[in-house]
Amino acid sequence: MSGEGNYDVLDNAIGKVVAAHKKKGDLNLSPLHFSPEMERPTQGALLYPGKVLADAEGNRLFVGDTGHNRIVQTDLDGNHPEVIGDGEEGFADGPYAKARFNRPQGICVDGDTLYVADTENHAIRAVDLKSKIVSTIAGTGKQGHLQFRKRFSGKAKTASLNSPWDVIQLPGSKSIFIAMAGPHQIWRLDPEKDHIEGYAGSGIENIVDGSLTNSAFAQPSGLATDGKNLFVADSEVSASGTDCRRGTLRIRRPRRQRIVGPAPALPRRRLFGRNPIYRRYLQQQDQGMRPASKDGQIPDRDGGSRLIR
C-alpha cells in the first residue's frame, strides 16, 4: 500500500494489532504528549530550512526558511541578511515586510527575480529583488486535485496547484520546471505567457521509467540540472531519475530514466540502506539535489537515511 487516503485500511489493521497486544497484556497505554509545531521554540535565526540556493555570480545566498514562512537573503559569507516575508503564515503579495508565505521550499533565481515554491499555499511566487515586491505567478492559494493520468494545461494564475516542492530553470530557457509533489508529477511554467502544464508523470504514485506520459513519480521533491538533463529526487520511492529536455540531447524524445535507487521489484524492507551499484543504491526520502559539478557528480540530500550523497 502507498500514498494517501488509506485511513480505513490502516485503522482496521492497527486496531487488530492493538487488540492482540491488549489481550497479551504487553501494550503500553501511557499517553503520549506532543507539542504542536506552532508552540515549538522559534527564537533561532532559522526554523526547519527546506532549501538553499547559492548565486555565485551575484554573491547572494537564499535560504527557504520554511518554519518561519519566509526567505532569507545574505551574501555568500552569510552577511547583510535581508528577510523576504513578514514571517506569519499566510498568502499575501506586496513588499517584503507585508508579503506572506506558507512553508516555502524550493527556490531558483533568474537575474533579479527569485522564484519560490510556496508549498502549502500551492503557488509559485516571484520576488523582484530590485523593487522588493512579492507577486504570485501561478496558483490561487487553493489546493488542486487531479485524477490519475490527467495532465493539466492552462492559465498559470488561475491554476490550482498541489504542493509544489522545488523549482528550477534550465539554462537558455525562461521556463520553470516544478517538482509538483501532490500529483506526483513534474510541471512546466512559462511565466511570460502565463501558462502552466503537466510535463512528466502519469499522476500515479510509483517508480516507473519510460516516456513522459507513462512514467511515474512518487512525491518528487528536489530538482537539479547539468544544463541538458533534469534530475529529480523522487522522495517516496527513494530514487533519483533524469528527465531529458526535448532537443538538448541526441535522443528525440525526452523520457524519465531512473539512475539511482531500487527497482520496484525490490522488497520494501530493502529500500533503506546502502548498495554500491547505482541502480540498486538504497535511499530513503531523498528531498534535495544541487546542480551538477564539472565532473558530472550531483550531491543528493538523502533525508531519511540522514546522508549527503
DSSP 96-123: TTT-BBSSEEEEEEETTEEEEEEGGGTE
Structure pTM? 0.74
Q: Whose CA is closest to 235, among 294, 297, 300, 295?
A: 300
- Residue 9's H or E segment, with its range, is helix 7-24
Strand partners, 53: 62
Q: How far apart are alpha carbons 260 and 241 in whole angstroms?
A: 7
CATH number at 48-308? 2.120.10.30
pLDDT truncated to tens, each residue of the chain (309 aa)? 555 567 888 899 999 999 999 999 999 988 888 777 666 666 778 988 999 999 999 999 999 999 999 999 999 999 999 999 999 999 999 999 999 999 999 999 999 999 999 999 999 999 999 999 999 999 999 998 876 567 788 999 999 999 999 999 988 889 999 999 999 999 999 999 999 999 999 888 888 888 888 888 999 999 999 888 889 998 887 655 554 443 222 223 455 555 555 544 444 333 333 344 444 444 445 556 655 555 555 444 444 443 434
Which residues share a beta bridge with 166? 179
The secondary structure element, H or E, covering residue 23 is helix 7-24
Strands (E) across 8-103 are located at 51-55, 60-65, 70-74, 82-84, 94-95
Q: Which of 233, 242, 248 is nearest to 299 (CA)?
A: 233
Neighbours of 247 (CB within 10 A): 9
Q: Give the C-alpha distances (Å, rounded to integers) separating 231 from 146, 157, 180, 184, 287.
A: 24, 26, 14, 15, 12
CB 128 within 8 A of CB 116: no
For 51-60, the CB contacts below 8 A with 24+ separation are 51/105, 51/106, 51/107, 51/166, 51/288, 53/107, 53/108, 53/109, 55/109, 58/109, 60/109
User: Which triple of cell numbers denotes residue 301?
Assistant: 540530500
